[in-house]
Every structure is written in C-alpha cells, then in structure tokens.
Structure 1
C-alpha cells in the first residue's frame, strides 16, 4: 500500500499571522514523533506570509487519522479559533 501524502493549506486572518505561525510550529516536533509520520514539513508563502502549507507523508491513512485525533491538534484548534481564515486539506498519492 502506498504512503499517504497530505497537503494542508492554512491562511491566517489579518493580524493573526504570528499567532497562527507560532501555534503551527508547536505541532512539528510532536507530530514528527508520532507513529507513521514520515515527513511533516511546514512552509510559509514568500509573498503572502499569512499562507502556510504543511507537506506531510504518512505510512497509512489509518495512522494519519490517529494523528488527526491527537490531543495536540485539539490544543492547536482551540488556540487558533477565530484566527484562521481558510483551511484546505488534500489527501494524495505519489504517482512518480
């Protein structure tokens, strides 16, 4: 079974970029230590600093789903409530 690739785009509301960035950065080390996490890389758009993108690779969808229920994600959601303008998530499979 191929690995699961996740591309998650997060856009902060005006004036909330620093808050969202700080909260996203808190997720990196703890998520990288989770079972099934192969890569978990946070990016910030060079022209629109309010836009962040996680590029993730997981051993399986089941392990990613476990991650999505992790307590640290609930903490992130609480901390950024009202600070995120847009969130999109794409589940993908590497084809080449």
Structure 2
C-alpha cells in the first residue's frame, strides 16, 4: 500500500544533462530494493531535456526519510546542488 507519493523536479545545466541522467539512472536499482519503496521512476522532459522528474511511491513517510538519509542519496543531493 502506498501512503506517500513524491514528485521530485530537477533542473540541470545544459552541459550536464548526460552526466546527471547517467548518475540518476544508477539510483533506480539501489532505491527499488530499499524497504518501503513501491515505485521509483525517472522521467525526462521531451521539450526540455535539462528537466528531470522522479516519481516515487513509498509505504510510509518514515521509510522515505530513511531513503533520503542513505549514503547514495546524500551524495547525489550534494553534487546536484552544484550543477
């Protein structure tokens, strides 16, 4: 059962699109095996390839918070701020 849905919108610089997309794709398999993850999908805007969207469904807010504190999420959020 899904109790929490997250839509994360990410905009990156044009010259970083391919790099960021590759790194975000790596997050998918790591996240799908996390406890409480129901869905974790990455979308890229057809009209603006620098705009990405993660659509996430979690069993609870608490399990999503644990996900956000995982090493791979902390690392990607840190370097995304610089892009």
**TM-score after normalising by structure 1:** 0.79
**TM-score after normalising by structure 2:** 0.91
The alignment's C-alpha RMSD in Å is: 1.5
Compare relative contact order (CA 8 Å, sep 6+) and give the higher one, 1 or 2: 1
8 Å CA contact 2:38–2:56 kept in 1: the answer is yes
Moved over 3 A (4+): 78-81
Q: Which has the larger radius of gyration?
A: 1
How many residue pairs were aligned? 83
- Structure that is richer in strand per residue: 1
Structure 2: segments with no counterpart, 5+ residues: none
Structure 1: segments with no counterpart, 5+ residues: 84-96
